[in-house]
Structure 1
Amino acid sequence: REVIDAGGSAWTEPGAVWTNGPFVLERWTHNREIILKKNPLWYAADSVRIDRIRFAMFADTATALDQYQQGNLDSLDPYGGLTPTDFEQLREDPFLSKQMQITPTLCTHYYGFNTTKPPFNDARVRKAFSAAIDRETIVSASVKLGEPARWFTPPYVFASVEKSDALGIAFNVNQAREFLRQAGYDKKKLPPITVGVNTNDTHERIAESLVQMWKTNLNAEVSVKTTDWKNYLQNLRDDPPQIFRLGWCAYFPDAANFSESVFRSGSLENFTRWNNPQFDRLVDSAAHESDVARRRAQYRR
Structure 2
Amino acid sequence: MPRRVSLFLLLIALAPLGCRPPSPRAERQATHQAVINLGTDPRTLDPSLATDVASARALLFFQRGLFMLDDEGKPRPELAESWEVSPDSRIYQFKLREAYWTNGQRVTADDFLYTWTERVLNPEFGAEYAHQIYNYIAGARAYYENPELGTETVRVWALAPDQLYVELEHPTPYFLELLAHHAYFPVCRAMDEQNADWARRAETYVGCGPFVLAEYQPGARIVARRNPQYWNAAAVKMEQVTLRMIEEESTARIAFENGEIDATEGVPRAELDSLRGSEALAFSTAFSTYYLNLNCQKEPLRDVRVRRALALALNRREITEKVTRAGEQPAFFISPPGLYEAPPAPTFADADFDEARRLLAEAGYPGGQGFPRLRYIYNMTDTHQLIAQVIQETWRRELGIEMTVENQEFKTLIENRRQGNFDVARAGWVADFPDPLNFLEIFASDSDTNDSFWRDPAYDALLFQARAETDPDTREAILRQADLYLIEQMPIVPIYIYSTPYLRDPALEGFHLNPMAMFDPVRLAWRPPPS
Match of 2:329 in 1: 147
Residue 470 of structure 2 aligns with an amino acid whose one-letter code is: S
Match of 2:268 in 1: 83
Question: What does the per-residue CA deviation read over 1:185-225, in whole Å, with 9 as the maximum and x for residues that have no partner?
Answer: 23953222221222332212111110111111111112212
Match of 2:199 in 1: 11
Match of 1:134 in 2: 315
What percentage of aligned pairs have identical amino acids? 26
1:199-238 map, 5 Å: 199-238=380-419
* Structure 1 residues 291 and 211, CA gap change in structure 2 (3 angstroms): same
Match of 1:105 in 2: 286
Q: Is it true that 1:170 corresponds to 2:357 in the alignment?
A: no
Residue 141 of structure 1 deviates from its aligned partner by 1.6
Distance 2:343 2:242 in 1: 35
Residue 287 of structure 1 deviates from its aligned partner by 2.7
Residue 35 of structure 1 aligns with an amino acid whose one-letter code is: A
Residue 334 of structure 2 aligns with an amino acid whose one-letter code is: F
* Structure 1 residues 288 and 54, CA gap change in structure 2 (3 angstroms): farther
Which stretch of the first structure deviates more once superposed, 204-213 or 180-189?
180-189
SS at match of 2:273: helix
Residue 54 of structure 1 aligns with an amino acid whose one-letter code is: V
* Structure 1 residues 219 and 100, CA gap change in structure 2 (3 angstroms): same
Match of 2:465 in 1: 285
TM-score, normalised on structure 2? 0.48
Distance 1:170 1:78 in 2: 28
Distance 1:26 1:78 in 2: 23
Unpaired segments of 5 or more residues in structure 2? 1-114, 119-186, 482-531
Which stretch of the first structure deviates more once superposed, 25-34 or 143-152?
25-34
Distance 1:63 1:189 in 2: 41
Distance 1:224 1:175 in 2: 25
Residue 101 of structure 1 deviates from its aligned partner by 2.5
Residue 168 of structure 1 deviates from its aligned partner by 5.4
| 2:362 paired residue among 137, 157, 182 | 182
SS at match of 2:375: strand
SS at match of 2:421: coil
Unpaired segments of 5 or more residues in structure 1? none
Match of 1:116 in 2: 297
Match of 2:221 in 1: 32
* Structure 1 residues 211 and 62, CA gap change in structure 2 (3 angstroms): closer
Distance 1:73 1:228 in 2: 21
Residue 255 of structure 1 deviates from its aligned partner by 1.6
Residue 164 of structure 1 deviates from its aligned partner by 5.0
Q: Is the 8 A contact 1:125 1:180 kept in 2?
A: yes
> Which structure has the higher relative contact order (CA within 8 Å, separation 6+)?
2
Residue 165 of structure 1 deviates from its aligned partner by 4.2
Residue 306 of structure 2 aligns with an amino acid whose one-letter code is: V
* Structure 1 residues 274 and 134, CA gap change in structure 2 (3 angstroms): same
* Structure 1 residues 166 and 250, CA gap change in structure 2 (3 angstroms): closer
Residue 243 of structure 1 aligns with an amino acid whose one-letter code is: V
Q: Is the 8 A contact 1:153 1:259 kept in 2?
A: yes
Which stretch of the first structure deviates more once superposed, 251-260 or 284-293?
284-293
Q: Is the 8 A contact 2:431 2:439 kept in 1?
A: yes
* Structure 1 residues 294 and 90, CA gap change in structure 2 (3 angstroms): same
Residue 102 of structure 1 deviates from its aligned partner by 2.1
CA-atom RMSD in angstroms: 3.2
- Report the count of equivalent residues: 285
SS at match of 1:156: helix
